[in-house]
Amino acid sequence: MSAAEKLEVIEGDITTLDVDAIVNAANQQLAPGGGVCGAIHSSAGPELAVECAKLGGCATGEACITKGYELPAKWIIHAVGPVWGGGESGEDRLLYKCYDASLKLAEESKLSSIAFPAISTGIYGFPAPRAAHIAVAAVLDYVRAAQEMGTPAPLKRIIFCCFGVESVQVHQAALAEHGHSH
Domains in the chain, please, with CATH? Answer: 3-177 (3.40.220.10)
Q: Reply yes or no on whether the pLDDT at 97 is more than 80.
A: yes
**Can you tell me the distance from the alpha carbon of 31 to that of 85, in angstroms, rounded to the nearest whole number?**
22
How many beta carbons lie within 10 A of that of residue 109, not counting itself? 15
Give just the sign of the alpha carbon dihedral 57, 93, 145, 135: positive
3-state secondary structure of 157: strand
CA nearest neighbour of 130 among 161, 91, 157, 160: 91
Averaged over 87-100, what is the pLDDT?
96
pLDDT score recorded for residue 149: 80
User: pLDDT of 49-69, one tens digit each?
Assistant: 999 999 999 999 999 999 999
pTM for this model (two decimals): 0.94
Does position 4 have pLDDT exceeding 60, yes or no? no
CA distance 75 to 68: 4
Task: Residue 94: name the closest of 129, 131, 57 by CA.
Answer: 131
